[in-house]
Amino acid sequence: MSNHKFDICARRHLHGAPASAKLAQSMHENRLRENGPLASDSAISRNDSGRTAPDSAARDNHWAAVILVLAGLVTALLLVIHPDGAVAFRFAPDHALPQVCMSRQIFQVDCPGCGLTRSVVHLVHGRWAESFAIHRLGWLVGVVAGLQLIVSAMALQNRPLPIPMGRLVVVTAVLLMLNWVFNLL
């Protein structure tokens, strides 16, 4: 059992008895001296300007989000959609990318995300009507990706925005599922 798990157990089960509480607090302080604070202890710290700064793990996650969203944007800009719906890179238009949807390949049934790539590619190229015609929630995925980019970039500058991205992603996933069910009916 790790020290952190023991600290949590000690705080839960030994709470109330003064000697036990002191033991748990002492163990927690020893763990902090040996290992430093864990993400559960404090996910933020204050910098010289008084703003809150994300810890290194959160900072890494924000950098990963920025890189992934920008990579997705660049990739979408490099893709073209053929009239038959195939997707290819601009520099190799005669070589369509393989279809990656396992649901469509195995069961011949679209999944909740089928068409999102093509929809977002049309969206990035400014073809709104085509984007909506392929997948009616492609714009929402684009908005969520854009918000994630803004939220992560602001957090990296120690100016966090109060946008609950986790909840927004869950709501988007639920809407994708509802859209999928609607398309099946």
Q: What is the mean pLDDT of residues 77-100?
A: 94
The length of the chain in residues reads: 185
Identify the top-confidence range among 40-44, 125-129, 162-166: 125-129
Residues 99 and 137 in one domain: yes
Greater confidence, 100 or 91?
Answer: 91
- Phi first, then psi, for residue 135 (nearest 5°) are -150, 120
Cα 121 to Cα 25: distance, rounded to the nearest angstrom = 55
For residues 120 and 130, give the distance between their C-alpha atoms in angstroms, rounded to a whole number.
Answer: 10
Q: What is the pLDDT of residue 21?
A: 56
- What pLDDT sits at residue 143? 95
Q: Give the pLDDT of residue 95.
A: 95
Question: Where does the pLDDT of residue 104 fall: very low under 50, low under 70, confident under 90, or very high at 90 and above?
Answer: confident
Domain count for the chain: 2
Same domain for 130 and 79: yes
35 with 60, same domain: the answer is no
Phi then psi for 79, rounded to 5 degrees? -95, 150
78 with 3, same domain: the answer is: no
Give domain status of residue 49, yes or no: no
Shared domain check, 27 and 94:
no
Who wins on pLDDT, 151 or 26?
151
User: Could you tell me if 128 and 70 lie in one domain?
Assistant: yes
Long-range contact pairs involving 79-82 (C-beta distance under 8 Å, separation at least 24): 79/117, 79/121, 80/121, 81/118, 81/121, 81/122, 81/130
Report pTM.
0.68
Q: Report the chain's terminal Cα–Cα distance, integer Å.
A: 51
Residue 48 lies in a domain: no
Residues 30 and 67 in one domain: no
| Domain ranges, residue 6 | 1-41
> What CA–CA distances, in Å, run from 15 to 1, 18, 29, 159?
19, 8, 16, 37
